[in-house]
C-alpha cells in the first residue's frame, strides 16, 4: 500500500483520509493545528502554504489530496499560495496532485453543468477557483506534475456540520421539527454532492492514470430542491412536515452587515435563484464510483446526526 498526503481535515479531507486508511494505505494529514493520531492516520501540524515544509512531508507519497480550504471570505488571498505549494510538492515528490474543486469557476450557466463548459466566472471567488485549476493543468501539460481535479456541488451527508445549505444550520432543525429558512428560492432544482461519494471519487482518480490532466464531476444524484431535501429528511426522521421559507431580502441584507459569510454569498446567489444542476455522466462512463441513492443518503445523514445528538443540540 502507498503513502497518501491529505491537505486539510474538514469534512472532505477527513472522509478521504479515513477511506484511504480503511483501504490499508498510510495517510499523513497536514493541518495547521494537528490532531491526535488515529488508526492508519498520522496528523502533522504544519502550514500547507509553506512549500518547503509540504515538499518535505510529501516525499515518498503516491498522491497529494488537496482538500484544504481557507475561510470563505479569504479565498482570494489565501487559496493561491496554498495551491502553489501543493503544485510545488507534487513536482518535487512525483505524487499525483488530486484537487478537490467546485462549480464556482463556471459562473452562471444555462442548463446542466458539464466539464466541457468554459471557466467563465466573473466574480472573484469563481475566478480564483478557475485559476487554481488552470495553474495545475498547465503544469501537467508541461510534464512537470501529474494533476486531476474532482469538482463537487454543495456537500451533504454525514460529517457535514458547517457551510453548505443542508449542513449544521438546517439538519438539526429538521430533526427537531422546526421551520427552516433558506437564503434563496427553496423550490429551484439543486445538485447536492454526497460527502462519501466525494471521498470515493478523490481516492479513485488518484489511482487512475487515464483520469489525470483534466477535471471530473463527482457522481451526484439527480437534482432536488431545498424543499424536497428537507421534506425527505423530515419524513425519514419522522418530524415532518417542516416549513421551508426564504428569508426576506431585507433580512439577508441586515445579516450581511455582521456576517462575512452571508456578505460573500452575494456573488453566488445565482446558484439558488436558478437551477444549479451538475452532469456527472462523463465520470460515470469511465470509472466505478456511482452516486449513492438519495434514500440511502438521507437515512445515513439522519442516523449520523442523531448519533451525535443533533436532534437536541
pLDDT tens column, 217-246: 999 999 999 999 999 999 999 998 999 988
Tell me what pLDDT residue 313 has.
40
Question: What residue ranges define each of the domains in the chain, with the CATH number in brackets?
Answer: 3-155+193-217 (3.40.50.720), 161-191+223-276+292-307 (3.90.25)
Question: Which pLDDT band holds residue 264 (cuts at 50, 70, 90)?
Answer: low
86 SS3 class: helix
8 A C-beta contact, residue 189 and residue 223: yes
Question: Which pLDDT band holds residue 257 (cuts at 50, 70, 90)?
Answer: low
8 A C-beta contact, residue 139 and residue 147: yes
- The DSSP element (H or E) to which 61 belongs, if any, is strand 61-66
Global pTM reads 0.94
Tell me what pLDDT residue 240 has.
81
8 A C-beta contact, residue 174 and residue 133: no
More confidently predicted of 28 and 310 = 28
Cβ-based neighbour number of residue 136 at 10 Å: 27
What percent of the chain shows pLDDT beyond 70? 92
Tell me what pLDDT residue 247 has.
74
Rounded Cα distance between 121 and 140, Å, is: 23
Tell me what pLDDT residue 162 has.
75
CA 226 to chain centre: 18
Amino acid at each position: 500500500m502507498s503513502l497518501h498526503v491529505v491537505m486539510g481535515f474538514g469534512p472532505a479531507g477527513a472522509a478521504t483520509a479515513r477511506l484511504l486508511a480503511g483501504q490499508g494505505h498510510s495517510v499523513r494529514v497536514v493541518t495547521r493545528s494537528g490532531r491526535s493520531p488515529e488508526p492508519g492516520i498520522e496528523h502533522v501540524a504544519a502550514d500547507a502554504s509553506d512549500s518547503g515544509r509540504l515538499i518535505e512531508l510529501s516525499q515518498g507519497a503516491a498522491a497529494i489530496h488537496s482538500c484544504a480550504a481557507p475561510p470563505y471570505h479569504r479565498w482570494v488571498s489565501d487559496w493561491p499560495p496554498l495551491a502553489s505549494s501543493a503544485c510545488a510538492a507534487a513536482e518535487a515528490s512525483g505524487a499525483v496532485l488530486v484537487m478537490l474543486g467546485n462549480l464556482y469557476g463556471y459562473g452562471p450557466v444555462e442548463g446542466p453543468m458539464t466539464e466541457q463548459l468554459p471557466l467563465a466566472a466573473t466574480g472573484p471567488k469563481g475566478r480564483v477557483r478557475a485559476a487554481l485549476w488552470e495553474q495545475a493543468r498547465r503544469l501537467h501539460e508541461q510534464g512537470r506534475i501529474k494533476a486531476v481535479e474532482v469538482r463537487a456541488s454543495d456537500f451533504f451527508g454525514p460529517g457535514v456540520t458547517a457551510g453548505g445549505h443542508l449542513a449544521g444550520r438546517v439538519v438539526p432543525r429538521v430533526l427537531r421539527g422546526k421551520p427552516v429558512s433558506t437564503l434563496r428560492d427553496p423550490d429551484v432544482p439543486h445538485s447536492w454532492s454526497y460527502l462519501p461519494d466525494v471521498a470515493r471519487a478523490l481516492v479513485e482518480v488518484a489511482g487512475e492514470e487515464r483520469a489525470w490532466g483534466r477535471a471530473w464531476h463527482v457522481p451526484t444524484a439527480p437534482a432536488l430542491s431545498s424543499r424536497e431535501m428537507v421534506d425527505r429528511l423530515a419524513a425519514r426522521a419522522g418530524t415532518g412536515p417542516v416549513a421551508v421559507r426564504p428569508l426576506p431580502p431585507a433580512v439577508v441584507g441586515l445579516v450581511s452587515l455582521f456576517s462575512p459569510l452571508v456578505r460573500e454569498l452575494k456573488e453566488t446567489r445565482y446558484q439558488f435563484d436558478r437551477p444549479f444542476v451538475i452532469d456527472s455522466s462523463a465520470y460515470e462512463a469511465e470509472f466505478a464510483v456511482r452516486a449513492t441513492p438519495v434514500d440511502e443518503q438521507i437515512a445515513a445523514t439522519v442516523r449520523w446526526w442523531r448519533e451525535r445528538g443533533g436532534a437536541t443540540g
